[in-house]
Amino acid sequence: MIKFGYFCSMFIENNLPNSRRRGWIEVITGSMFSGKTEELIRRLRRAEIAHQKVEIFKPSIDKRYSANEVVSHDENTIRSTMVDHSATILLFSGDVDVVGIDEAQFFDPGLQEVCITLANMGVRVIVAGLDMDFKGEPFGPIPGIMACAEYVSKVHAICMRCGNLAQFSHRFSDVGNLVLLGERAAYEPLCRECYYDQTQQKG
């Protein structure tokens, strides 16, 4: 079986542009309802206005609003491709200028190497996703991608209990799987103090 790292290196060799382009990685992260997808769409729209070739991907698990679009909570949309595994992103990213990845926390650990591979090819990679799960712990591949990214934007929601800036995603019930697609009926954004108060009450 071919190792994933070998696949990435072969992909780079077969897709290097004639003139070296500068690629990089951007991460947009924060809690639920903080505007991550909204900001991702804004950056991708600007790239399209600049006549750059853009491809957008999201995990196949995310079918909340649309199968072929990324949709923000404010109902802004942009076309996208659903994929089951991060390696598939490379197969659809030939001859592109910008790659957008939404709900990146739901991807497999290989997403970090995919992002690095694309950036090394000269592609601008924009990743959006939760940095913490509802338990307040690092979520999926996001922390690793943040570590190797050139730019990290941490956006904030408004705490639903006190009105301060919120960076935690509080799930009303901690029963069930780690993965529970976000809706306002299931989650609320909280600041550190209010999140701590809620977790202490459950404890």
Mean pLDDT, residues 19-25: 81
Residue 25 is predicted with a pLDDT of 98
Q: Looking at the predicted structure, is the pLDDT value of residue 163 above 60? A: yes
CA distance 59 to 63: 9
pLDDT of residue 4: 56
Residue 184 CA to its chain's centroid (Å): 19
Which residue, 32, 28, 29, is CA-closest to 160? 32
Give CA–CA dist 202/14, Å, rounded.
53
pLDDT band per the 50, 70, 90 thresholds, residue 1: very low
Choose the catalytic residue: 26, 39, 55, 103: 103
Q: Is 103 labeled as catalytic in the residue annotation?
A: yes
Mean of per-residue pLDDT scores for the chain: 85
pLDDT of 150 over the 70 cut: yes
For residue 79, CA distances in Å to 41, 67, 100, 102 come to: 10, 9, 11, 12
CB distance 118 to 23 below 8 Å: yes
CA gap 199, 60 in Å, rounded: 31
What the block records as the tokens of 166 is 């919120």
Read off the pLDDT band of 61 (50, 70, 90).
confident
- From the list 158, 88, 98, the residue with the least C-alpha distance to 125 is 98
**Side-chain half-sphere CA neighbours of 91 within 13 A:** 8
What is the CATH number assigned to the segment(s) 4-155? 3.40.50.300
Pair 141, 36: CB distance under 8 Å: no
pTM higher than 0.75, yes or no?
yes
Which pLDDT belongs to residue 53?
97
Q: For residue 6, is pLDDT > 90?
A: no
